[in-house]
């Protein structure tokens, strides 16, 4: 389908012709934005492969994309964003519900009509002389009743290319919208990239997302955090489901037993590496296959929780990824990949610090030749890769029911206090584990890096409604699911007194998975503490790690835990009356138990 000229003359008939559907409500909503934005052309992405190739070619010709060395990275390109548009901006992200209480204490809220007025003033006529791309998409397996569909409007070809890589785009989505009548409209306007007038707005009562003055990542790829978490979490709440910022992994033991392992971790806490983990050389017979690296949607099936992955690609952080830390990711993104804000070697390869230590000089993420290697790639530089490139993808990815979840992991980057692994004694205590996550901030969002902040279930930036009600939803789901997953908390990052990591991490984390599997099968003992069940180190599969280091990894510092609980309590109180009484009881039980040990 080619470009259509002068669409503003008759948008109603044009949209009906383009979309081939019989949904007057959707046509009306799209017509409103066409009239408001006044694009010169409209392109509907019904044939994603054709349009991806076309747009990549155009952007490469205009030097907006730099083709990488084909010998090492086939069909792959580097993109450099505006220097003021490099990460999610939480201060500009709004949950605009009719009732302010539905947004809660941790979300930015503005009354819907007021927020729309501000945004509409910014975007009116903003696509004059530009093309509007209409991108229909499905989140989740095409045939699953748990999947959802939507349409994103955008004026940015970089956004379109990324959407094609991370979502199921095209006619299937149009057909699904026709069949179900359910959809989300997501409007993205690049605008002037004015960082002082940037909005990522979620109108949760009307399934509408509008983003303006940004063209980067989760701010602009509205299928991702905006829909798959913020909007989807509201849908999940209303339908006894769960939309979570979690990875998921299908693990197979030497005797053929299958385990579904999910995990919620704030940025830089090991989530991607865990989702793509490989087994240590001495763990013959164990295997792991990826379902999701970032987001899962869960539903109840056969009295258990099952997870699907709403995404069709990775939008991963590049720094920290190399052949040692994540060899499977390296295999995935050596083709068909868009790299954003990495450095570039003089022979045309993407580069970030620690990727290749033999490099002496690179073009930094601004495009300038430099020997300042530590700052050459932006710390939040990314790779966008189709999930089909991943060599160890679980067959459950394509299954309409998804993967049965047997264990849920919570975790956050912490250098002290938190043991390597501990297990909740009950579902409610497990929910408290998730609510208590605190981790160091990273470059994935704007603001200071390295500050300890509360990030329950790794959802603080992504929950589309009141976080207290979200905790209650977790508790309620536990009552609805007969065969509940066991809940664990892990911390790969504990350090010794010299500042060195005690646990080797990376593939060695599989040994923790082995212990978790043994707990699921009731084959190993655990020691009860007020903060959960910890392994008996005499039976923990620690590899070559000595007894002294194991003792450090599982030491329970009760004064430190009391300090932790006292620091978390004000955050819980800030949530107000919506914080569940059942969770307060769990909190005070834990605190009383800790105090008795001091």
Contact 343, 365 (CB under 8 A): yes
Dihedral over alpha carbons 145, 146, 152, 158 (to 10 degrees):
-110
Q: Which residues of 57-90 are buried (b: 16+ CB within 10 A; e: fewer)?
A: eebeeeeebbebeeeebeebbbbbbeeebbbbbb
User: SS3 letters for 316-348?
Assistant: EECCCCCCCCCHHHHHHCCECCEEECCEEECCC
d(CA 60, CA 66): 6
d(CA 401, CA 143): 10
Strands 247-252 and 4-5: unpaired
d(CA 345, CA 362): 5
Whole-Å CA distances, 578 to 99, 107, 121, 246: 14, 14, 35, 24
Nearest of 163, 156, 231 to residue 465 by alpha carbon: 231
Contact 221, 166 (CB under 8 A): yes
Q: What share of the chain is helix, strand, coil (3-state, %, to 5)?
A: 35, 25, 40
Q: Which two tokens stand for residue 487?
A: 């809940």
Sheet with 421-423, edge to edge strand ranges: 287-292, 247-252, 258-264, 407-411, 486-490, 421-423, 532-535, 526-529
d(CA 132, CA 121): 18
On the CB side of 189, how many CA atoms lie within 13 Å of its CA? 27
Nearest of 266, 270, 271, 443 to residue 341 by alpha carbon: 443
d(CA 487, CA 483): 12
Catalytic residue list? 269
What 8-state DSSP symbol labels residue 224?
Answer: I
d(CA 93, CA 550): 42
d(CA 486, CA 503): 23
Which ranges of 425-544 does DSSP label H, i.e. alpha helix?
Answer: 427-435, 467-480, 510-520
Contact 505, 280 (CB under 8 A): no
On the CB side of 75, how many CA atoms lie within 13 Å of its CA? 14
On the CB side of 174, how many CA atoms lie within 13 Å of its CA? 18
d(CA 272, CA 60): 30
Widest distance between CA atoms in the chain? 77
């Amino acid at each position: 389908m080619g470009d259509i000229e002068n669409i503003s003359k008759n948008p109603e008939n044009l949209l009906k012709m383009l979309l081939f559907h019989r949904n007057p409500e959707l046509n009306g909503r799209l017509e409103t934005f066409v009239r408001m934005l006044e694009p010169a052309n409209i392109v509907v992405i019904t044939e994603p492969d054709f349009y991806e190739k076309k747009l990549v070619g155009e952007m490469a010709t205009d030097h907006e994309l730099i083709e990488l060395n084909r010998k090492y990275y086939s069909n792959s390109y580097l993109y450099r964003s505006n220097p003021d548009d490099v990460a999610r901006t939480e201060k500009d992200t709004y949950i605009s519900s009719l009732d302010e209480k539905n947004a809660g204490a941790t979300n930015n809220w503005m009354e819907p009509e007021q927020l729309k007025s501000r945004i509409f003033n910014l975007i009116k006529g903003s696509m004059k002389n530009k093309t509007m791309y209409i991108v229909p998409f499905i989140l989740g397996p095409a045939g699953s009743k748990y999947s959802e569909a939507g349409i994103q409007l955008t004026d940015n070809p970089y956004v379109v290319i990324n959407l094609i890589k991370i979502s199921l785009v095209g006619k299937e989505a149009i057909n699904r919208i026709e069949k179900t009548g359910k959809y989300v409209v997501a409007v993205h306007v690049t605008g002037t990239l004015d960082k002082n007038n940037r909005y990522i707005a979620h109108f949760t009562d009307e399934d509408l997302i509008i983003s303006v003055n940004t063209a980067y990542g989760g701010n602009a790829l509205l299928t991702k955090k905006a829909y798959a978490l913020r909007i989807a979490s509201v849908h999940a709440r209303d339908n006894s489901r769960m939309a979570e910022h979690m990875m998921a992994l299908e693990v197979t033991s030497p005797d053929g037993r299958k385990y579904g392992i999910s995990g919620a971790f704030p940025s830089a806490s090991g989530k991607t590496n865990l989702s793509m983990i490989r087994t240590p050389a001495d763990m013959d017979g164990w295997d792991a296959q990826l379902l999701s690296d970032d987001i899962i949607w869960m539903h109840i099936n056969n009295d258990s929780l099952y997870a699907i992955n709403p995404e069709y690609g990775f939008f991963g952080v590049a720094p920290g990824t190399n052949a040692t830390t994540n060899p499977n990711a390296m295999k995935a993104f050596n083709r068909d990949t868009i790299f954003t804000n990495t450095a570039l070697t003089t022979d045309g390869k993407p580069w970030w610090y620690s990727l290749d230590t033999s490099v002496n000089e690179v073009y930094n993420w601004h495009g300038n030749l430099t020997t300042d290697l530590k700052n050459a790639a932006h710390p939040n530089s990314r790779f966008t890769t189709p999930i089909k490139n991943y060599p160890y993808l679980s067959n459950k990815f394509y299954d309409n029911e998804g993967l049965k979840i047997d264990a849920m992991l919570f975790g956050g980057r912490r250098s002290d206090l938190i043991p390597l692994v501990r297990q909740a004694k009950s579902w409610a205590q497990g929910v408290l584990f998730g609510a208590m996550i605190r981790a160091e901030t990273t470059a994935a969002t704007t603001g200071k890096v390295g500050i300890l902040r509360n990030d329950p279930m790794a959802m603080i930036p992504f929950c589309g409604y009141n976080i207290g009600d979200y905790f209650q939803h977790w508790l309620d789901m536990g009552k609805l699911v007969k065969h509940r997953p066991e809940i664990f908390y892990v911390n790969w990052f504990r350090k010794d007194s010299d500042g060195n990591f005690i646990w080797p991490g990376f593939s060695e984390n599989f040994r923790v998975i082995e212990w978790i599997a043994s707990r699921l099968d009731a084959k190993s003992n655990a020691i009860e503490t007020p903060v959960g069940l910890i392994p008996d180190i005499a039976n923990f599969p620690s590899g070559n790690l000595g007894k002294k280091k194991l003792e450090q990894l599982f030491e329970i510092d009760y004064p430190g835990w009391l300090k932790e609980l006292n620091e978390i309590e004000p955050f819980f109180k800030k949530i107000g009356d919506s914080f569940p009484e059942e969770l307060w009881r769990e909190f005070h039980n834990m605190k009383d138990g800790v105090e008795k040990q001091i």
